[in-house]
Amino acid sequence: MKSSEAGDRAETMSIGALAARFGLDTHVLRHWKKMGLLHPGRDAGGRRRYDADDLTRVAVILLYKEAGLALDTIRGLFATADRGTRRGILHREAEQLRARIAAAQASLDLIEGGLNCTHQDITRCPNYQRRVADRISARAAPAP
């Protein structure tokens, strides 16, 4: 844990200032501290003080969260200095992201197919009928 001296106060910021800088509520930073993602120093009065390293750490956490990583995964990345372990974590995340992208693309294709369909009744659309038939055959139970 870092320690902060009274003279360092100008180089640090309060939890409120750090939260405001990123548009977060202070309880978010407290939660991240409780999870071990942040390690702020304390001033003489016992109040949390955040420095440039904490500022960078919050930015990295937010970038990882925007990429879809869970806080536990982020904590795992921060906890390891081993390149192989880090790559393993990121590889699993990349595979999961690829699967989500594929599912989102399939959803977009379905929606765009409906938007581009010229049939009055979408159930008469060959694209719609093909998708329904594909779904039925994919879900068909094997014969005994």
Identity at 134, one-letter amino acid code = D
pLDDT in tens, 102-134: 999 999 988 888 888 888 888 888 888 888 898
When the pLDDT of each residue in the chain is averaged and rounded to a whole number, the result is 89
Cβ 13 vs Cβ 50: under 8 Å:
yes
pLDDT surpasses 60 at 87 = yes
pLDDT in tens, 50-64: 999 999 999 999 999
Cβ 64 vs Cβ 94: under 8 Å:
no
CA distance 86 to 80: 7
Query: What pLDDT sits at residue 143?
Result: 65
